[in-house]
Amino acid sequence: MTTLTATETLLHKGSGLQVVVGLGQSGLSVANYLTKQGYHVAVTDSQPTPALADQLPAAVDIRQFGAIDAELLQQAARIIISPGISLDTDAVAAARRANIPVVSDIQLFCEACTVPIVAITGSNAKSTVTTLVGQMAADAGVNVGVGGNIGVPALNLLANPDMQLAVLELSSFQLETVTNLGAQVATVLNMSPDHLDRHGDMLGYHQAKHRIFQGAKSVVINREDALTRPLVADNLPRLSTGIHAPDKGHYGLITDPEGQIYLARGTDRLLSADKLQIKGRHNLLNAQAALALGELAGLPLDSMLNTLQQFTGLEHRCQYVATAAGLDYFNDSKGTNIGSTMAAIEGLGAVYAPKDGKLLLILGGQGKGQQFGELTPFINKYVSQVLFIGEDAKQIEQHLRATKLSDEVALHQCQTLESAFATIQQVTISSLSQVQAVLLSPACASFDQFSGYAARGEHFSQLVSQLATDI
């Protein structure tokens, strides 16, 4: 009996082959979806034994593991690429040069989805806003599906035949292979340097993010960030958000004569900021974004405001952990880029500044080619101690020292979180210390020391609990 090669098998089976590149959760969802649609599906992954291989449907009879199979990709009618795999990968790039379509699972979803889509991206706060909008919809009685980059693959949402609204968090990796998403409402929450090692520069990153606006029926814009403004028709319905008093019909903040801050729509005060369980100025912008997205998706305002007051935020996103030895500890391990860390420093720093308090900031991990000197103005204003951990700790310190860093900011090389906690106790023991809060917001990826940002945040929280117990 002759054993056919992968190529010969494809030629034998005929055309129309769908090749899934990358067998993570999204790749598995694509394989399940396409086989149920009756397609002939092949899967290839660089891992010799992908963890999810045994969950593939039996109909996937071509499985090429150990390397992305360039020969297999050349035989594809369409390639569905997982977000973790770069389009510049040799085998993928060769397939694109051969004019073989390369799309993501999001493209398959938007082509099959028959309900309105709320599409959310940005450098920071995507998960917070996506979760909040999803909860607002659910609380308003809408049968909503929430997924995408937030944990549930988008295609899995199609299993719900009663879904009335889809709320998707989308990464730049997912968007770079999406065309004409056609969302009911789309937004880029904010833009700051991230994933430049993948996109090459800010232009490439910006172009990927702004694909979310293709075919959008309405948009939400952050007035504080010009890079979020889409190139769309002037008559397209839009709402804007910002930290200042808004124009009529838009969202913003109003401060009364006593200094109390309110979420506002036009001149209407909607909700006092102290009624929110999520704290910091960045979360006031997140709340506005959720309200604006919800409004354009048809959700009732009163119901959204009720949801907003109950929302406690997400784990590892500026999450209050505990108070130990007079210091408040915050876990912002999800802060994996400088934009996110800027928002966390400014958001929390503004809370402690009126009490003459400063932050102790823990930075470091894998820097992803970012310029950390951009953090200096925020550190000078709100931080008195910076502790560096991880693979790029020394490089990050060099970046800060090369800028106009205040002489009042002390820098410490710690390498690990355990060492950082020992340093925290040393530098805050003085009665002259201005530190009132410790913020883990690394501005870096975590894979040098942890399996992911969640593991890093959990370890931080464990160290805080241990510290509180020892006191």
Active site members: 126, 149, 195
The residues, ordered by sequence, that sit 6+ positions from 188 with a Cβ below 8 Å of its Cβ are: 121, 122, 209, 210, 212, 213, 222, 227, 228, 230
Return d(Cα 261, Cα 107) in angstroms, integer: 41
> Is residue 228 a contact partner of residue 162, using CB atoms and an 8 Å limit?
no
Return d(Cα 127, Cα 321) in angstroms, integer: 19
> Is residue 351 a contact partner of residue 281, using CB atoms and an 8 Å limit?
no
DSSP-assigned beta bridge partners for residue 63: 43
Q: Distance between alpha carbon 199 and the CA centroid of its chain, in Å?
A: 16
Return d(Cα 197, Cα 368) in angstroms, integer: 6
> Is residue 256 a contact partner of residue 272, using CB atoms and an 8 Å limit?
no
> Is residue 415 a contact partner of residue 390, using CB atoms and an 8 Å limit?
yes
Return d(Cα 374, Cα 379) in angstroms, integer: 10
What does R_g of the chain's alpha carbons equal in angstroms? 24
Whose structure tokens read 């085998």?
91
Return d(Cα 220, Cα 250) in angstroms, integer: 10
